[in-house]
Amino acid sequence: MTKRMAKWVSWGFLCLVLLVFPRVFGIYYSNVFVAFAIFAVYSLTLNMLLGYTGLLSFGHAMFFGTGAYTTAIALDRISGMPLLPVVLAGFVASVVLALILCPIVVRVGGTAFAMLHLAFGQLMYVLALKLRFLTGGEDGVGGFPIPAFSIPGIISVDMTNPLNFFYFAIAVLGLSTWILWFFTKTPIGSIMIGIRDNPQRVEYMGFRVTHTKAIIYCLAAGFAGITGSIYALFQNLISAEDGYNIMVSFGPIMATIVGGVGSFSGPIFGSAIFSIIEELTSRYTERVELVMGLILIGVILYAPMGFMGVMGLLKQRWLAARKVKLEGAK
């Protein structure tokens, strides 16, 4: 079997697993999986900034929350809104917010970037609480109608059915993941790594660092908006606490660090680890954050490269051992 073929077989197998997942594990675990997938893709968008461009954001939740609120408010206020346009609205609203912030934030980096985002994130949180006429204040926006996925004259699928929603969410999030991955493979994807490692050198090479940063920033924001949008549809509710809270910003940072900063799939594994831990520990204790915090401390102390780093290390050792074994056999 060629490498290419093996790759296609793996993808096919993954699709098959996702297809039968709800049938095998039931609605509850399908919902857990959707929640994980939302968080994983959201973490991927943060990793575009943190892992690939070296920009640590303490306010990434503002894009997630904006996408979620846009979708929720659109469905709440405008009757007959179709499904895909409301998801797209979440994307556009977050990109617009990113464009507004771009002139300020792309000119800075490091601590300034992180703290500016902390401030903007908190501003959005307070606005969501105070603009009660629009956001519902502390209650948030909830109970809005969930439109069916429909292509006029061809198909109409009820999205209030958890099974149907599972497939829809996985499709949208899967597509988002592929686009983000594809972006990292484009020339601009290489430039963003350059910006992370040595922005001055990239500048000297003739690339416009601030412009590139702005593009990456808007892209990350837009896809964070999509995850927020799916989250709002999934929960049929969005509140300031779930959309803009500081922990919504810290969550993906933790997942990215635990999974492996810089690696594309690191945040996915980090999110999976946190989702599993949350699912298991929440049955026995309310101190889920404490357990997660301990894991983060452990990772920072003993495996700073995260899960993917450890996997890479193990792979290297295994290859080295195999090489020695093969040489010994000769």
Partner 1 sequence: MRTGRKILVVFAIFSLLLMLNLPKALAANAKYDAAGLPDMSDFDPSNPIIPTGDTIKIAIVASFSGPAAIVGEIYFISVQWAAHDINKRGGILVDGKRKKIQVIRADTQSKPAVAKKVCERMILKEHVNVLWGTNGSHIMKVINQVAKKYGVIAQCAAALSDELYDARNFTRYSFMTSFQTNQIGRAAAYYYGQIRKKEKKFYILCQDYLFGHSMAEGFKEGLKLYYPQAQLVGEDYHKLFLTDFAPYLTKIKASGAEVVYTGDWIPDAANLLVQARQAGIKLPFANIFLDEPNFLHKVGVEGTKGLLNISQFGAPNPLFKNDLQIKFYKAWNDLWKTKWKAPFNTYLFKHPLGNIGSYMFQTYWLLSVIERAGSLDPEKIIKQWEGDSYEYISGKVMTMRPVDHKAIQDLHAFEYVPPAEQKQSFNIPPYSYFTGCSNTGPISTIPAEKIMPKLDPKLKR
Q: Go through 12-32 and write b for each residue having 16 or more CB atoms within 10 A of its CB, e for each that does not.
A: eeeeeebeebbeeeeeeebbe
Nearest Cα neighbor of 168 from 149, 146, 143, 187 is: 149
Tell which one of 12, 26, 103, 293 touches partner 1 (CB under 8 A): 26
User: Considering the rule CB under 8 A, would residue 110 count as an interface residue with partner 1?
Assistant: no
To partner 1, the closest distance from the beta carbon of 46 in angstroms equals 19
Q: Do the beta carbons of residue 268 and residue 176 sit within 8 Å?
A: no
User: Considering the rule CB under 8 A, would residue 293 count as an interface residue with partner 1?
Assistant: no
To partner 1, the closest distance from the beta carbon of 235 in angstroms equals 6
Catalogue the long-range contacts made by 170-175 (C-beta closer than 8 Å, 24 or more residues apart): 170/18, 170/33, 170/34, 170/37, 172/87, 172/226, 172/230, 173/37, 173/38, 173/40, 173/41, 173/226, 173/227, 173/230
User: Considering the rule CB under 8 A, would residue 241 count as an interface residue with partner 1?
Assistant: yes
User: Considering the rule CB under 8 A, would residue 28 count as an interface residue with partner 1?
Assistant: yes
Which residue type, as a one-letter code, is found at position 152?
P
User: Considering the rule CB under 8 A, would residue 235 count as an interface residue with partner 1?
Assistant: yes
| Strand 149-151 versus strand 155-157 pairing type | antiparallel
User: Considering the rule CB under 8 A, would residue 286 count as an interface residue with partner 1?
Assistant: yes
User: Considering the rule CB under 8 A, would residue 160 count as an interface residue with partner 1?
Assistant: yes
Tell which one of 51, 140, 252, 270 touches partner 1 (CB under 8 A): 140
Tell which one of 138, 175, 315, 323 touches partner 1 (CB under 8 A): 138
User: Considering the rule CB under 8 A, would residue 127 count as an interface residue with partner 1?
Assistant: no
User: Considering the rule CB under 8 A, would residue 246 count as an interface residue with partner 1?
Assistant: no
Tell which one of 47, 125, 173, 242 touches partner 1 (CB under 8 A): 242
User: Considering the rule CB under 8 A, would residue 81 count as an interface residue with partner 1?
Assistant: no
Q: How far is CA 140 from CA 125, 132, 204, 235, 286, in A?
A: 11, 8, 48, 12, 24
Nearest Cα neighbor of 87 from 223, 218, 201 is: 223
The number of angstroms, rounded, from the C-alpha of 101 to the middle of its chain's C-alpha atoms is 20
Tell which one of 48, 61, 106, 237 touches partner 1 (CB under 8 A): 237
Nearer to partner 1, 127 or 188 (CB): 127
User: Considering the rule CB under 8 A, would residue 164 count as an interface residue with partner 1?
Assistant: no
Nearer to partner 1, 199 or 252 (CB): 252
Chain residues that interact with partner 1, rule: CB under 8 A: 26-28, 31, 35, 129, 132, 136-140, 142-143, 160, 235-237, 239, 241-242, 286-287
